C-alpha cells in the first residue's frame, strides 16, 4: 500500500531523490514538486480519520494550496539564485541544491497549507472514540 504510513519511505524516497537532482530545469522542478505534494496528499487522505466525514472541497483546497505553494517557492528561489550576481558558479550550484528544502518545509510550518484538514482532524471530538462519560482516550483536559 503506497499511501499508508508503512509505504511512505519506500515510495517517497525516489521522490526525494528527484527533488535533489542537480541542475534541474523549470519543468523538472515543477514536476518533482507536484509529484511530492501529490504523494503527500494521497498519504494524508489514506491515513485520515475516516470516522468523521470531510467534504471533498477541503482535500482539494489543501492539495491545490500545497502544490501552488511548493512550486511557487521552488521556482521563485531558483530564479533568485540564478539572478544573484554576487555568487560564484560553485556557490550558486551549492545554494540551488538547498532550494527543495524551504519549498517542502514551508508546507509543514505554522501555516500548513498542505494539511488543511489536519487541524480539524486533531480535535478530541473528531475521533469518535469517546466513552459514555465523554472521555476520549489519549487526550487529557
Q: What is the pLDDT along the chain (141 residues), one digit of tens a residue?
A: 788 888 888 998 999 999 988 888 999 999 999 999 999 888 888 888 888 888 889 889 989 999 999 999 999 999 998 888 898 988 988 888 888 888 877 655 444 444 444 444 444 444 455 555 655 555 554
Please count the CA atoms within 13 angstroms of the CA of 7 that sit on its side-chain side: 12
Supply the pTM of this predicted model: 0.72
Which string of DSSP letters, residue by residue, matches 72-130? HHHHHHHHHHHH-TTS-HHHHHHHHHTTHHHHHHGGGSSS-GGGHHHHHHTSGGGS---
Report pLDDT for 118.
Answer: 45
Q: How far is CA 34 from the centre of its chain?
A: 10
Amino acid at each position: 500500500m503506497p499511501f499508508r504510513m508503512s509505504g511512505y519511505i519506500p515510495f517517497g524516497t525516489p521522490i526525494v531523490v528527484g527533488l535533489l537532482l542537480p541542475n534541474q530545469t523549470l519543468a523538472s522542478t515543477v514536476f518533482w514538486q507536484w509529484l511530492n505534494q501529490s504523494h503527500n496528499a494521497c498519504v494524508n487522505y489514506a491515513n485520515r480519520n475516516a470516522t468523521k466525514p470531510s467534504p471533498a472541497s477541503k482535500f482539494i483546497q489543501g492539495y491545490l494550496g500545497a502544490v501552488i505553494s511548493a512550486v511557487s517557492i521552488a521556482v521563485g528561489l531558483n530564479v533568485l539564485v540564478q539572478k544573484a550576481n554576487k555568487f560564484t558558479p560553485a556557490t550558486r550550484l551549492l545554494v540551488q541544491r538547498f532550494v527543495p528544502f524551504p519549498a517542502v518545509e514551508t508546507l509543514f510550518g505554522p501555516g500548513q497549507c498542505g494539511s488543511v484538514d489536519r487541524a480539524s482532524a486533531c480535535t478530541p471530538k473528531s475521533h469518535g472514540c469517546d466513552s459514555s462519560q465523554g472521555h476520549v482516550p489519549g487526550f487529557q483536559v
